[in-house]
Homo-oligomer: A and B are copies of this chain.
């Protein structure tokens, strides 16, 4: 009996880059975690331990830092693109490259209402994500932007009612519940030639936040559909968006045993189990 390789790929993950760009006293800070995956003519390493076509993952790590030094960029998308184009250009055995960049969120510390030039405070767990995929030498990169771990909560204007009633249902209809979720979204840019990925990202993020805050929600599904539509409306640069909204349940605590009424005031916040809702939207022709 024998075995056949259906597919293989390899790379380096979680390469942690900090870059400081100094414009006089005003400093820009970029903190990225970078993953690189290569597809190509690597079968001999798998079948025979022959590494002559293998670019060491340690060398990939070096490239992240070298390319960060040698190039200007102002977004994770731009850095993902330049890395993804680098590999097939440099190594002819590489037929495909996927580069993912996760940018940590930092805000300038505000003193007397003024953002500081070089001191920052964490912007939280939210990540600005970007992926660039290059099919091979000379191919145009496909670019995806995104956000993950964008944790939001609204205390009202969320209902959930009239769903399937059967043996397995114990949840009651509600017209007013807390809606908490940690948004993960990715969207496909129409072109690599976007002049300002950061501005597009901010427009999309703000559009999603506005819908979350203001939309009367009858289902997580409905809200995320509205958020996706608002994102497509806000950014003509993108043509597709995927959203995943875990329902981070706030469960009303039963105060009846204590002779008290819970008027939608007192809840248990939970991590699990969680509702796990996804949708993918295309801009309609």
Residues of A whose CB lies within 8 Å of any CB of B are: 1-22, 27, 29, 31, 35, 37, 42, 45-63, 65-66, 68-70, 90-91, 105-106, 109, 111, 116, 118-126, 150-157, 160-164, 166-171, 178, 209-210, 212-214, 217-222, 224-225, 228-229, 232-233, 240, 246-247, 250, 253, 255, 257-258, 260, 262, 264-284
Q: Are B12 and A276 in contact (CB under 8 A)?
A: yes
> Can you name the residue of chain B whose Cβ is closest to the Cβ of A93?
B164
Q: Are A266 and B19 in contact (CB under 8 A)?
A: yes
> Can you name the residue of chain B whose Cβ is closest to the Cβ of A161?
B51
Complex formed: what's the CA distance from A105 to B151 in Å? Answer: 11
Q: Are B62 and A273 in contact (CB under 8 A)?
A: no
Complex copy number for this chain: 4
Q: Are A273 and B212 in contact (CB under 8 A)?
A: no
Known interface pairs A46-B224, A118-B154, A162-B52; A266-B168 also in contact (CB < 8 Å): no
Rounded to whole Å, the gap between the CB of A117 and the closest CB of chain B is: 9
Q: Are B283 and A164 in contact (CB under 8 A)?
A: no
Q: Are A51 and B240 in contact (CB under 8 A)?
A: no
User: What residues of B have a CB within 8 angstroms of the CB of A271 in the complex?
Assistant: 14
Q: Are B120 and A152 in contact (CB under 8 A)?
A: yes
User: What residues of B have a CB within 8 angstroms of the CB of A222 in the complex?
Assistant: 45-49
- Give the contacting residue for A15; candidates B2, B66, B125, B273; CB below 8 A: B273
User: What residues of B have a CB within 8 angstroms of the CB of A275 in the complex?
Assistant: 10-13, 57
